Amino acid sequence: MKISLGTDHAGFRYKEKVKGLLGSLGHEVKDFGTFNEEPVDYPLFIRPAAEAVADGECERGVVFGGSGNGEAMAANKVHGVRCALCWNEETARLSRQHNDANVLSIGQRMIAEELALKIVRVWLETPFEGGRHARRVAQLNAM
């Protein structure tokens, strides 16, 4: 799977850890930055990562920040993106099963690194269950 990554300075460390995890799992990564912990404006890095998913260049994306909230909001402004802010394995699982989330947002200041890596694994491995949720997701995608 090809996965886009984007972060501001507050999520840089987790982005680098997740990039390593994704590579070890055999995924291709497109890294939209940032590339260090110098302060930056997150939309400059989050929007291109989200657009890569919406345009079909990448199948999924993961964005990072301090809380993950602003990053999820910025990603969700891109038509075709369904970005879920996840803080535990269950929210990651449900975001895929019920909402077919194609972008994941993680807050580096909110959760431990080990948990962030577990969330990414669960999110990648969980399929969309379709069924009763498929119609609602199709409606959301059409908006």
Angstrom distance (rounded) from CA 138 to CA 66: 31
pLDDT at residue 142, rounded to an integer: 72
Amino acid sitting at position 62: V
| pLDDT tens, residue by residue, 38-63 | 999 999 999 999 999 999 999 999 99
Categorise residue 68: left if φ over 0, alpha if ψ from -120 to 50, beta otherwise: left
Angstrom distance (rounded) from CA 29 to CA 19: 7
Question: H helices of the chain, where?
Answer: 12-24, 43-54, 69-76, 89-97, 113-125, 134-142
| pLDDT tens, residue by residue, 56-100 | 999 999 999 999 999 999 999 999 999 999 999 999 999 999 999
Please state whether the predicted TM-score (pTM) of the whole model is above 0.85: yes
Any catalytic annotation for residue 98? yes
- Which among 16, 59, 98, 133 is annotated as catalytic? 98
Question: Which range of residues forms the domain containing residue 96?
Answer: 2-142
- Which among 71, 79, 89, 133 is annotated as catalytic? 71
| CATH number for position 62 | 3.40.1400.10
How many independent structural domains does the chain possess? Answer: 1
> Could you tell me if 123 and 91 are in contact, meaning their C-beta atoms sit under 8 angstroms apart?
no
> Could you tell me if 130 and 28 are in contact, meaning their C-beta atoms sit under 8 angstroms apart?
no
